[in-house]
Structure 1
Amino acid sequence: MAAVRLLGALLLAGGAVAPPVPAAAEVAPRPAWLRVESHRTLDGLSDDLVTAGRGVGGLLSGPAPGYADPRAPTAEELRRASMFRRGDAGFGFGRLFGPNVETATGRLLEDDGRIAGEEYLAFTDDPAGRGSRHVAVLLQVPRDRSGERNCILAVPVNGSSALFRDIVDFGFWGLRRGCAVVYTDKGAGNGVHDLGTDTVHRIDGTRAPAAEAGEHAHFAADLAPEARRRLLAEAPHRIAFKHAHSRRNAEAGWGEDVLRTIRYAFWQLNERAGSERFTRANTLVIVAGNSNGGGAALYAGEADDAGLVDAVLAGEPQVQVRPEARAVVAYRGRERRDPGRTLLDYFTFGNLYLPCAAPALPEDAPGRAGIARAAERCASLREKGLLAADDLPAQAREALERVHAYGYDREVEILHAHNYSVVPDATAAKYVSAHGRFGVEDRVCGLSFAAVDAEGRPVAAPPEVLAQSFATAPGGAPFGPVDIVNDRDPTGPRRNALSVSPSTGRQDYNLDGALCLREMAVGGSPEARRVQAGIAEFLANGNLRGRPVIIVHGRLDDRVPAAFSSRPYLALNSLAEGDRGNLRYWEVENAEHFGLSGPGFDTRFVPLNLYLLRGLDALWAHLTAGAPIPPSQVVRTTPRGGRAGSAPPLVAAAVPPPAAEPAAGDRIEVRAGRAAIPD
């Protein structure tokens, strides 16, 4: 940290380092890559930065936000709906953690989670013109800024979601500390272009004709009018998404996008103050993200060669590591060499075998009952020579064993059916299109996106669905009636889950499409090589440049398994940094990816969010007071138990903080590229 503190003020427009600027100096010019779209002030009562005026009580038991006119929501209504996250007190929200709880002490705060302040919306672009365009940014500045020190928390948002997605989960932590908090969608946010009506989102979520929105659009597909008409003639009602169809391979720029938003925050804070009061020398900067936001946080740490960032927190990071034969992860008697897997690799493998494996899962596995065509998928896999067993029970067991042999841990099997219910085919298609820089008109693997009717046939998206999509769409399908469509169904385009595979003649969850997506990840076709070249642009190198970093991951994460992401990154980091490294890895028992607490989840899982907040507390104490960060360890927790749907409330003793001196059987050891994870 001492080396970081020797840096001078950041030259915001170019990212270089300059001598300290006197407090009374003129404000730096607006960076050429920046467009500030709006500014508003929130009183902390009728509206606020965290709960949109509802307070934690409203998130726990109040009605979900609505619209005066569902077909024409206002920007304020869309913001309120985007920020709404239904809390569960039994799971600990509002009692053990949340915007109304002081995490370190458990004290409940009188403001019920409401925080007053200012909010800015802006777009940034890659100044070199090679990377992301229209990267959406939200800057929140609390009214009661820290009197102790200047600070900025930078949050690359989770998934392909709206900018407001992570506020109530952990972004509020920075506001509570009196820090400015700046969020970015990483060029992959909630831009929805309905090609039929040719309408798009503005940055505030309201919709407009693409020509009218112009540069103020979140995203508009790069299609000439004639090309758009031609596509709609062949495939009516199709929809394009920013993450999938921008042709920018946004992930390749995630780290730089995060750093650019920090530079924006410095500029905006100083422009707002009227003098150069925020400099790199007097401001703490922490980056924190979850899921692919966690991956972006690590990419930012690797990309930051100017010392812009003091520390990083990465929750269940979707990070994809470069191949490294010297890296080894040892766990439960199995050693995996070069253990990292790319997202498309494990998504497309799971997409092949998980629906067939469903009958071999426990009967109470969440989502198992919803996989109604397991027999059809198994039979088609058998015909293709991808299974050897002859009857359904044996085929299901064989499919499950193949998933385990691939590298999935045994204990995540309880979530395999739910993992498949979260449509890995749609996510894989999104990433294939993004990494290969394909446009919406390419319809890779015969897959596209559209609203569908009850029979799964494409129809025009209802006006109210489009109007509210900023708050409901997770940056891609599915949402509402919008879903992934198999354009190669011999009976005509149909929702993928209901469609027929051309080569099998069965409703087998479109095995042909699943095989095509798998080929994109590991095959040798020109299209596959194009996708794989895109992936190679962002593989992590593990070098975090000595700064303090905490990775927090749930042991039961089946969406972004620790076996393919955090554990391999830990091993790679030890090779990249050796004794200079300052990475801590906390693996939390009984925590899964989504933080779900409904029936089937309530009895089994604990909230990972609590540990993200504890990680931020630990980094703050380390940066401001020199406190040691708890070492790498497995954090032992106790699930709530009871009967599904009526689990007893989670108690504090069940979710202990990471130990300053973990027991020998809990300590994670890493040395010279070998990470040993306790059972």
Structure 2
Amino acid sequence: MFSAPRQTEHRGEHDDLLSAGLGLDGLRAALPPAFADPAHPTAAELRRRALWANWRGIADLAVGGGYGEVYGSVQRVEGREYSAYATVPGAHQPHRVLAQVPDAFDAGKRCLVVAASSGSRGIYGAIAVAGAWGLPKGCAVAYTDKGAGTDYFDLDAGLGVRADGTIGQPEDGDLAFVPSAAERAAAGGIAFKHAHSRDNPEADWGRHVRQAAQFGLSALDRAFPQQAPFTWANTRVIAVGISNGGGAVLRAAELDGEPWLDAVVAGEPNVYVDGARPLYDYTTEAALLMPCALQHKPLAAMPAAPAGAAADAYCAYAAANGWLGEGMAEASNEARAEAAYRRLRDNGWSDAALRAGALSVSFDLWRAVAATYASAYGRYAPAAKRAGKGPDQPWLPFAYAAADAAAQPPTARPAAANERAAWWADASGIPPGAGVQLFAPPAGDPAQALAPLAGLRALWTGQGGDGDAAAGLAAAHRRVREGIAATRASAPRKGVPVVVVHGLDDGLIPPAFSSEPYVAMARRAGAQVRYWQVRNVQHFDAFLGLPALAARYQPLLPYVYAALDRVEAHLADGAPLPADATIDTGLRAAGQPLQAPQLAIPR
């Protein structure tokens, strides 16, 4: 199951498990930790920088935001890390697993926290969720990147990421992600595991989590041989994750076989159940309609502007394609915006989710997510070389390559050595970002520019094209739909307590499409599920460093930590599980620090 094992020590003044010695002040630094040689950073330098990037990508570390003072911890925790690749049977590519074992591991309670990275992040993508809670308590923590992560592969140079994060060749034998020889010969630009593994990793998220937990037990055996074996029967295992990581731990809770999991806490989970809307459906809808709908006056107060093509171009395109109803082709932009808003509301979006969804519009996140997931669900290879004209898949017309971020329009070019060297530490797992751009075919007008988004939507609806194009769409539609169907969740095993925590203002994974139908399904099956719904909380804690957002929203992480506390007390002392709650938070005045009473955490 496991290969390429590594063990490293993290002690002393300038290193530890939680922050690589940076501490809260170092994590707050505006610039990442530097590499002595930017083209050839050491494994230790890459790890430190990856921890810096992943803390900042998940938690609100801004002064006054409350982290480390009102909630959370970045205290020094010394210990060892064990890492390896794990492979799900039948998969083309492995996923990374990592176990952090503190020197102060509490042998009396034998606790293992297992977590999956949020989003498509690398192996440290849950450090602020699981590590920050479990390591200071003397628990070991095991992680998985769940088949995604930042192990990018430069198809032009034939270089990828080794087990220690440095750059190497396929011949080295320990790369985390290697496209096949045929794919490397046919494709150009950059491939990344979530989109191009050909495995549809989301279908195996639960198995990834269980394998990470198994690796965690084996790491404890190695760390404390006198107390081995560590088993499901004598070690308490709690799974936790947020966003995609939250969906992954819920999928782990449903697995058959030997009982292994004692409890689950899932924050803002991306989870799909029968009868609900999957992520790909509402993402592709939002990509096309939300930039227009956000111009509707009741929503216009959100301090974020649509990115890319002007909002009126989205409105015109939607009207021309009949998505806004009859008579909209000649209507005013104001009327089109209202029609787009009504369409989204009718399809389940709340005003709170639409306002927060403006963040995803501003950061071009809907397009990035839709393109990545379409490739993953369809198990597509990287884009074939066509003299810069884009990939061969007409319904997936996107390619990835290095580009200068400041260039307008961005132009694809070969990646430089210093860029490749930083991908593992700096990237989020879904381009654009870290110097990698997402490219669509060149467009001469707004309609051409938006057509690729319509192509992504057509992969869900199956509507579009004619003749041979219609036949090709039908095949691609079936392929993507089959991939989505493979991600459908089932109820957790009976006897496994589950706490779901979700912000009611979430604009990326609205609870109406995810947590709400999951909780209802699980309860119909007799599962032991509790549900906290938190007002004034959206999806991205890390954005709360922006003053306008800090005055509007509260962070999610305090509620995830509190739910973990309550689950731990239930398992250890028989305390009751938390009751369902709709939590009415307070808000900060502009420029004022977060105060504990404003969180209104249930007691």
Q: What is the TM-score normalised by the length of structure 2? A: 0.90
1:295 to 233, 247, 264: 247
2:279 to 336, 343, 357: 343
Q: Does 1:638 align with 2:586?
A: yes
User: Which amino acid letter does the alignment assign opposite residue 407 of structure 1?
Assistant: G
Cα distance in structure 1, aligned partners of 2:9 and 2:283? 42
Q: What CA deviation, in whole Å up to 9, does each residue of 1:219-254 have, x standing for no partner?
A: 111242xx534434xxxxx11010100001111111
2:178 to 214, 220, 226: 220
User: Which amino acid letter does the alignment assign opposite residue 505 of structure 2?
Assistant: L
1:254 to 205, 221, 224: 205
Cα distance in structure 2, aligned partners of 1:316 and 1:631? 18
Cα distance in structure 1, aligned partners of 2:323 and 2:232? 56
Aligned-pair identity in percent equals: 36
* Shift in alpha-carbon separation, 1:369–1:348, aligned structure 2, 3 A: closer
Q: What CA deviation, in whole Å up to 9, does each residue of 1:197-232 have, x standing for no partner?
A: 1110112221112333x3x111111242xx534434
Moved more, 57-66 or 405-414: 57-66
Q: Secondary structure at the match of 1:308?
A: coil
* Shift in alpha-carbon separation, 1:182–1:543, aligned structure 2, 3 A: closer
Query: In structure 2, what is the equivalent of residue 71 of structure 1?
Result: 39
Query: In structure 2, what is the equivalent of residue 26 of structure 1?
Result: none
Query: In structure 2, what is the equivalent of residue 14 of structure 1?
Result: none
Query: In structure 2, what is the equivalent of residue 97 of structure 1?
Result: 71
Query: In structure 2, what is the equivalent of residue 35 of structure 1?
Result: 3
Bigger RCO of structures 1 and 2 (CA < 8 A, at least 6 apart): 2
Trace 1:306-317 onto structure 2 (pairs within 5 A): 306-317=258-269
Query: In structure 1, what is the equivalent of residue 388 of structure 2?
Result: none
Shift of 1:384: 1.8
**Higher share of residues assigned helix:** 2
Shift of 1:370: 4.2
Query: In structure 1, what is the equivalent of residue 219 of structure 2?
Result: 268
Trace 1:190-589 onto structure 2 (pairs within 5 A): 190-212=150-172, 214=173, 216-224=174-182, 228-232=184-188, 238-275=189-226, 276-323=228-275, 340-360=276-296, 362-368=299-305, 370=307, 373-387=310-324, 388-389=327-328, 390-422=331-363, 423-441=365-383, 443=391, 444=393, 445-453=396-404, 454=407, 455-487=409-441, 489=442, 500=443, 505-507=444-446, 510-523=449-462, 525-577=474-526, 581-589=527-535
Q: Secondary structure at the match of 1:259?
A: helix
Cα distance in structure 2, aligned partners of 1:159 and 1:610? 19
Cα distance in structure 2, aligned partners of 1:358 and 1:80? 39
Q: What is the TM-score normalised by the length of structure 1? A: 0.80
User: Which amino acid letter does the alignment assign opposite residue 373 of structure 2?
Assistant: Y
Q: What CA deviation, in whole Å up to 9, does each residue of 1:17-70 have, x standing for no partner?
A: xxxxxxxxxxxxxxxx11143111111532000011011232235753111122
* Shift in alpha-carbon separation, 1:507–1:154, aligned structure 2, 3 A: same
* Shift in alpha-carbon separation, 1:603–1:371, aligned structure 2, 3 A: farther
Moved more, 78-87 or 620-629: 78-87
* Contact 1:373–1:509 under 8 Å retained in 2: no
* Contact 1:312–1:550 under 8 Å retained in 2: yes
Cα distance in structure 1, aligned partners of 2:382 and 2:362? 24
Q: Does 1:114 align with 2:66?
A: no
Cα distance in structure 2, aligned partners of 1:49 and 1:634? 35
Unpaired runs of at least 5, structure 1: 1-32, 101-112, 233-237, 324-339, 490-499, 660-679
Q: Secondary structure at the match of 1:378?
A: helix
User: Which amino acid letter does the alignment assign opposite residue 231 of structure 1?
Assistant: A
**Bigger radius of gyration:** 1
Q: What CA deviation, in whole Å up to 9, does each residue of 1:483-515 have, x standing for no partner?
A: 21113x3xxxxxxxxxx2xxxx52358321111
Q: Secondary structure at the match of 1:80?
A: helix
* Contact 2:146–2:209 under 8 Å retained in 1: yes
* Contact 1:222–1:246 under 8 Å retained in 2: no
Q: Secondary structure at the match of 2:501?
A: strand
> Aligned residue pairs: how many?
566
Q: Secondary structure at the match of 1:600?
A: helix
Q: Secondary structure at the match of 1:433?
A: helix
Cα distance in structure 1, aligned partners of 2:265 and 2:518? 14
Moved more, 91-100 or 427-436: 91-100
Shift of 1:469: 0.7
Query: In structure 2, what is the equivalent of residue 658 of structure 1?
Result: 602
Cα distance in structure 1, aligned partners of 2:448 and 2:266? 34
Shift of 1:570: 0.8
Q: Secondary structure at the match of 1:429?
A: helix
Cα distance in structure 1, aligned partners of 2:62 and 2:307? 24
Q: What CA deviation, in whole Å up to 9, does each residue of 1:549-606 have, x standing for no partner?
A: 10111111101111100001011112222xxx21101011111111021132111011
Q: Secondary structure at the match of 1:286?
A: strand
Cα distance in structure 2, aligned partners of 1:230 and 1:298? 38
Q: What is the root-mean-square deviation of aligned Cα atoms in Å?
A: 1.9
Cα distance in structure 1, aligned partners of 2:92 and 2:520? 30
User: Which amino acid letter does the alignment assign opposite residue 222 of structure 2?
Assistant: E
Shift of 1:363: 4.3
